[in-house]
Amino acid sequence: MVDTRTFSKANILVVGDVMLDRYWFGDVERISPEAPVPVLLVGNRDERLGGAANVAINASSLGAQLCLMGVVGNDEPGQTVETMLQQAGVQSRLLHDPQFPTIVKLRVIARQQQLVRIDFEERPSAEHLSTKMELFEQEYAKHDVVVFSDYGKGALEHVAAMIALCKQAGKTTLVDPKGDDYAKYAGASVLTPNRSEFKQVMGSWKTEAELHEKAQTLRTRLNLGALLLTRSEEGMTLFNNDGAFHVPAQAREVFDVSGAGDTVIATLACAIGSGMSLPDSVALANKAGGVVVGKLGTAVILPHELN
């Protein structure tokens, strides 16, 4: 039994790519006469916070003290993001870039199956990213744990400098990485790549021994406190100075993996921030990931679901 009330001790800053996830639900009953594509009659619509914002509301839902930093546009989706954060009780330090449209992912779904995803995105301006770095320098010292949620959309242009500041101040830093350049994450407390992301950087492996060697090599090369490899149906493996600690996957039907990594790193941050050991925090994050993949779309973990 986990006493999630202790998560109120966790004081977390989430920094990264803020998004709005939109869902259009409907029925398909015919094929278009214009082209061989299904015609969807939209019935219901839904909006959820995505990216770094999803990390923030997951941690907030578990009871942590939260602040979110990111960039949105001066547009309707940006205002929707701010309103949803306020409703969720999440403090935010969002920059509004008039030249940058808020990142939106639109998913069209019929009979619980995703037909298409449409992305609206551009990179933030260099000017606003510099301003964001200045805001970060003012904010990070107020928090014990800093989570960097990198979706490769440009908001973490200065992540290497941010991690260096946090390390110098003795802050715990958790990074959900993106891309094939992990050098910018050097010095982080915990790096949390998934299986395909790790393979992109370190290549494939045939045995557990080979995987362990690659993981520890990367950890040493980047001077990481720990590397947490999320392995889908194989669970999670934590690599640190003590060796490897493996947690099997929860026996649960996988419905939708969207946002599961956000839930995992949010739960990990709450657990570490409340004083739990790293192995216990990993086990709890694994359980949270097992719950959220049973939900449709980006979803929030609730405290009672961890028990």
Between CA 299 and CA 276 the distance in angstroms is 24
Residue 262 appears among annotated catalytic residues: yes
Between CA 117 and CA 264 the distance in angstroms is 23
β-strand pairing of 11-16 with 113-120: unpaired
Between CA 49 and CA 57 the distance in angstroms is 8
**C-alpha angle 48/68/59, rounded to 5°?**
65
Q: Using an 8 Å Cβ cutoff, are 37 and 56 in contact?
A: no
Between CA 277 and CA 272 the distance in angstroms is 7
Catalytic residue (one of 75, 180, 262, 280)? 262
Q: Using an 8 Å Cβ cutoff, are 176 and 261 in contact?
A: yes
The DSSP line for 231-288 is: -GGG-EEEEETTEEEEEPPPS------TTHHHHHHHHHHHHHHTT--HHHHHHHHHHH
Longest dimension (CA), the chain: 63
Strand arrangement of the beta sheet that strand 145-149 belongs to: 91-97, 65-73, 11-16, 145-149, 172-176, 190-191, 226-230, 236-240, 243-247
- Provide the annotated active-site residues: 262
